[in-house]
Amino acid sequence: MDMARRIFAVFLRQFYLYRHSIHRWLALFYWATIEIFVWGFLTLYLNKIGAATFNFVPVLLGALIFWDLFNRAQQSISVSFLEDVWSRNLGNIFATPLRPLELVAGLMVVSVVQVAGAVVAMAGLSFLLWKLDIFSFGWLLLPFFLNLFMLGWALGVVVMALVLRLGPSVDIFAWSLAMLIQPLSAVFYPVSVLPAFLQKIAFLLPTSHVFEGMRAVIFGQEFLWERLLWAFGLNAIYFAAAVFFFLVMFKSVRTKGLLQRHTD
């Protein structure tokens, strides 16, 4: 019960923050809206020059929405943590009974709420503007959604650890880490277009399995269980490694006295 209260407190802190902040709401939806417009027009153009042999809308716009889900899951955790770093509140936070894992859990809840809001908005806009109904694919996409969340959380926790250890000057990772793996994640194209040696690396990323699997679902092909299992397996390893890394960094900053950097 106490643990639930503490996790809720982490969520409540972010909820209060957003309640007061219009620009945070705008940031949540602004880029999503712009992207839906830009990529929507692009798919229209590609459909036109492709002479209706291939419908780009679900492939590109669908991929965009799913990638945004992953990107936001990572950013949400990282930026929410940074809010406490920027407000020099970490000393207060870590002097409470809140466990590091409870902090991570609380930020995961925050990310689910934020991502759900953004994805619903994007999906709604896509439906209204481009007649793309991502929910028409049904429950088959849910396990892939979950995998995208898991990798987003893992990367978010890595950013938290880096900020904790290296200080707020490395906050750039909060916005760039997910993008680092985009070229190999096969978001808008299949893994098969990559050079052979990069394909091997690509399949070490859960995102490549997820997007390959999701494309199959969108094209109405068979459900790729193998891709899903690979994604879950890799994600389990990466998430556990990220949490372990965070705990090691937390111990390290307490030993080296680096937490004072965030409080002095």
Partner 1 sequence: MGSGRVRQRVFAAPYCVLLSIVSLSRSHTRRSLWEGTPQSTGGASGNGAASSRQTRLRPRNPLAEPPLCFVREKKFRAREFFASSLASEKSNVAQVFVAMAIMSILEAKNLVKIYDGTKAVDGISFSIQKNETVGLLGPNGAGKTTTIQMLLGLLEPTAGEVKVLGKSLRSHRHEVLSYMNLQATYAWLPGNLSVRENLMVFAMLYSVKNASRRVAQLLELFDLKELANARTGILSSGEGTRLGLAKAFVNKPKLLLLDEPTASLDPDAADRIRTKIKAEAHENGTAILWTSHNMREVETICDRVLFLSHGKILAEGSPQELIARYNKKDLEETFIALAREPLNGQGIRNPALQQVQYGASKG
Please report whether residue 17 would count as binding partner 1 according to CB under 8 A. yes
- Between 72 and 262, name the residue whose CB sits nearer to partner 1: 262
Instruction: Please give the Cα distance from 103 to 107 (Å, whole number).
Output: 6
| Alpha-carbon span 79 to 110, nearest angstrom | 11
Alpha-carbon separation of residue 32 from 28, 39, 119 (angstroms): 7, 10, 8
Quote the strand ranges of 113-230, DSSP E.
none
Helix (H, G, I), strand (E, B) or coil at 181: coil
**CB 156 within 8 Å of CB 77:** yes
Q: Are 153 and 237 in contact (CB under 8 A)?
A: no
CB-nearer residue toward partner 1: 136 or 260: 260
- Residue numbers 167-196 binding partner 1 by CB under 8 A: none
Among 28, 46, 93, 140, binds partner 1 (CB under 8 A): 93
Q: Is 22 in the site for partner 1 (CB under 8 A)?
A: no
Does 92 sit near partner 1 (CB under 8 A)?
yes
Question: Using CB under 8 A, which residues numbered 49 to 88 contact partner 1?
Answer: 83-84, 87-88
The token pair at 172 is: 């750039």
Q: Which is nearer to partner 1, 3 or 241 (CB)?
A: 3
Q: Which residues bind partner 1 (CB under 8 A)?
A: 1-2, 5-6, 8-9, 12-13, 16-17, 20-21, 83-84, 87-89, 91-99, 251, 254-257, 259-260, 263-264
